[in-house]
Structure 1
Amino acid sequence: MRSISLALADDHPLMLAGLVDLFKLRDEFTVVATGASADEVLEIALRTSPDVFIVDLVMPGNIFTTILDLVKRGCRTRFLAFSAMSKSDMAIKALRAGASGYVVKGTSPQELLDAVKAVQRGEIFISQELACKLIEHHRMSSLKVAAGPPVKFSLREGQIIAMLTRGCTNRQIAQELKIGEKTVKNHMTALMQKLNVRNRLEVLIATQKLDQEELPAPRH
């Protein structure tokens, strides 16, 4: 299996060195470049096009603008924000810029490894401690389900929604429901279309705003 190519950017030398050591010890990852500013992130992404780019949010330059610029250019790299800030507004800003995940510094090494693998697979990954804050932040936000008849979900969709609220990845959902991971992705696509949202995080936010009677009761 081809290793996941990684680029890392942090303006704290010790943190950057620690990240390099963490991934270099594992055969499934290849560190292709490191940087310490938003300008270097831009240059590295365009030059090496890594699978995943782990970026700090507080570096010289504007990393949010850089990520958005690269996404607009069609850059295939997926960005994972790695920050000491656990405020929901920072995570939202990073995700809106085009980041595929947000991991809070101080988390376990395993969570960071899992996050890289998840975003490389095309999933959205949010640190557990931050996920609850994001849901609460959006309970009173302006995100609305498209106007029209009440949204109705199938039993399977209801099961998937319930597992999303527990922070499960597509792989974990597939294993628990004994279905293929591709089937889970198909259900996620259908949910995004029903809710008129763009990603799994917005599916989670939107379903939190729906009346409970719109969700099918789970079978025991």
Structure 2
Amino acid sequence: MTIRVVVADDQELVRSGFAMILDVQQDIEVVAEAGDGAQAVEAVRRLAPDVALLDIRMPGTDGIQACRTICAETACRTVMLTTFDADEYVYEALHAGASGFLLKDVRRDDLVHAVRVVAAGESLLAPSVARRLIADYTARPTVISSGRLDVLTARERETLLHLARGLSNAEIAAALVVSEHTVKTHVGNVLSKLGLRDRIQAVICAYETGLIAPGAAPSQDGGAPAALFPYPHR
């Protein structure tokens, strides 16, 4: 199945470069390019692509605004692109509904991988962005507001906890001694009951509600939980 993509960036050379990288892939088709957020929204509404690659800083309607509209009105998933990795952009993008966040110096293979991952219903952040995000939570005092989680069953809370620790579905299945199919059901229930779009938002929710303490779930390299940036290990 071909992944249909809209690429939006106000810099023509950057936009064309990303489009060229993606369009040569056998399973990806760039169906439109846009020079600003308004054009991106119009293209998504008209063409119903699977993924929109959006630059954050664009004239007029910026990438964050475009992301918010696209996620609210369509089934298209969004990946944000920027030359900046300032924390406020990460938060704004995530709350707007973005499923991915990449810096523009992303490697060619990682860009292609990101589009495939997001199109498949998963989510990711660039490793450096994920580490900064979790580092910010680590610096904050833990605020318990777990009442939001009361809608979850005990098993669903366990599933959310394991998601926040960066475990894959297979690893969660092993920890809970259930099948991967059952884990997928639990994950789906967690997202649905909490009104979350994807696993990234689930991880953020786990930290915001105090289900997991900041800094309590490092990956093997001491960075952020692996679930936030599922790039292949090199």
TM superposition score normalised by structure 1: 0.75
Which letter does structure 1 place at the counterpart of 2:67? Answer: I
Q: Any stretches of 5+ residues in structure 2 without a counterpart?
A: 217-234
Which protein, 1 or 2, shows the higher relative CO under an 8 Å CA cutoff with sep ≥ 6? 2
Which letter does structure 2 place at the counterpart of 1:146? Answer: G
The 5 A counterparts of 1:1-220 are 2-63=1-62, 64-72=64-72, 74-139=73-138, 140=140, 144-146=145-147, 157=158, 161-162=161-162, 164-166=164-166, 173-174=169-170, 182-192=181-191, 196=194, 198=196, 199-208=198-207, 209-210=210-211
Identity of aligned residues (%): 24
Which letter does structure 2 place at the counterpart of 1:83? Answer: T
Which letter does structure 2 place at the counterpart of 1:68? Answer: R
Report if the CA contact (8 A) 2:8-2:35 is conserved: yes
Which letter does structure 2 place at the counterpart of 1:138? Answer: Y
1:165-201 Cα distance to aligned partner (Å, 9 max, x none):
44x6xxx54389578765443232344578x462422
Report if the CA contact (8 A) 1:143-1:206 is conserved: no
Residues 200 and 118 (structure 1), Cα distance of their counterparts in 2 relative to 1, 3 Å cut:
same
Cα offset, 1:163, TM superposition: 6.4
Secondary structure at the aligned position of 1:110 is classed as helix
Report if the CA contact (8 A) 1:8-1:16 is conserved: yes
Q: Distance in 2 between matches of 1:143 and 1:85?
A: 31
Secondary structure at the aligned position of 1:82 is classed as strand
TM superposition score normalised by structure 2: 0.71
Cα offset, 1:110, TM superposition: 2.1
Cα offset, 1:8, TM superposition: 0.4
Report if the CA contact (8 A) 1:37-1:60 is conserved: yes
Report if the CA contact (8 A) 1:83-1:103 is conserved: yes
Residues 3 and 65 (structure 1), Cα distance of their counterparts in 2 relative to 1, 3 Å cut:
same
1:83-134 Cα distance to aligned partner (Å, 9 max, x none):
1111221011012112221112212222222221222122221112111221
Q: Distance in 2 between matches of 1:61 and 1:89?
A: 19
Cα offset, 1:9, TM superposition: 0.8
Residues 157 and 111 (structure 1), Cα distance of their counterparts in 2 relative to 1, 3 Å cut:
farther
Residues 94 and 14 (structure 1), Cα distance of their counterparts in 2 relative to 1, 3 Å cut:
same
Which letter does structure 2 place at the counterpart of 1:144? Answer: S
Cα offset, 1:29, TM superposition: 0.2
Aligned length, in residue pairs? 204
Which letter does structure 2 place at the counterpart of 1:79? Answer: T
Bigger drift between 85-94 and 203-212 goes to 203-212
Q: Distance in 1 between matches of 2:60 and 2:179?
A: 42
Q: Distance in 2 between matches of 1:197 and 1:155?
A: 14
Cα offset, 1:206, TM superposition: 4.2
Cα offset, 1:145, TM superposition: 2.0
Report if the CA contact (8 A) 1:197-1:203 is conserved: no
Report if the CA contact (8 A) 1:157-1:187 is conserved: no
Bigger drift between 179-188 and 132-141 goes to 179-188
Cα offset, 1:66, TM superposition: 2.5
